[in-house]
Amino acid sequence: MRKLLEAFLVCQEAFKAIVLNNKELVSRSPLDRLVGEFFERSVKALDVCNAIRDGIEQVRQWQKHLEIVLVALNPSQRTVGEGQLRRAKKALTDLTIAMLDEKDAGAVLSQRNRSFGRTNNSGKNHSAGSHFRSLSWSVSRSARIAVYTMNAVLLFVMWALVAAIPCQDRGLQIHFSVPRNFPWAEPMTLLHDRILEESKKKDRRNSNGLLKEIHDVERCSRHLAELTDPNQFPLAEDRETELRQSVHELYEVCNSLKDGLGQLERQVREVFHRIIRNRTDCQDQPLA
């Protein structure tokens, strides 16, 4: 995900340079309308960025429940008492409820994802290829390709973010296709198909997000919930060993999640500000 956002920022700067270096060309019809539609879509992308940052904050709230589990089941303690099991079990139950609440809240926010990628014609699908073929051939080919490419990249990156982070319903069934003659079409299509296939896996269908760290949290918390059943106290030696191993794994997952979320949040913030800055620079720059 971080590599994808890095690539997006590079594309943003390249597109900005093209627009500013061809100001007279992009001010003519129909390119002026196409560029304007792109920047209108980029404003909707800001909504997605805000939703992603809210989702990252929600995952941090999950971490607080996980920290309670780690304290209650501290591996340095000789034995695991019934009170510790109950405390850990409660924290895991609270975590499960928080995750379920996030899924329910996602349905309310789904309109943000559905509206992204639309212009005024809401009945159209998101096939980037058909949009490209409809452009006038009287427009400079390089300019048309630049506008089309940036639209496709923006749509794909926002779609991937929504798939990765628990900000709203996954909404992964968007119709996304690009002409095969573009050099970037194959890798983008492969990424798109890979994300879809991942979402269809049995253990990912009801996931809060496809980000690896989120999957690890869901998997570890489910396993620990089974191992911390107070009704099985006192724990058999093999079960206590399994519990300690799971706690160690959760500790590693939490560290990875903490580092990953911080980096991702900084990148999303940079994407947000770069979209605003580029839109302002390109639209406010007077003709030479």
Tell me: the pLDDT tens digits for 125-139?
444 444 444 444 444
pLDDT tens digits, 173-223: 566 778 888 899 999 999 999 998 888 887 777 788 888 999 999 999 999
**Cβ burial 4-42 (10 Å sphere, 16+ → b, else e):** bbeebeebbeebbebbeeeeebbeeeebeebbebbeebb
Model pTM score: 0.81
Tell me the pLDDT of the chain averaged across its residues: 82
Alpha helices per DSSP H over the chain:
2-21, 23-26, 31-72, 82-115, 128-133, 141-164, 185-200, 212-227, 237-284
Point out the residues of the chain with pLDDT beneath 70. 103-140, 168-175, 285-288
CA distances from 42 to 55, 72, 139, 286 (A): 20, 46, 22, 21
pLDDT tens digits, 13-31: 999 998 888 888 878 877 8
Confidence (pLDDT) at 107: 47
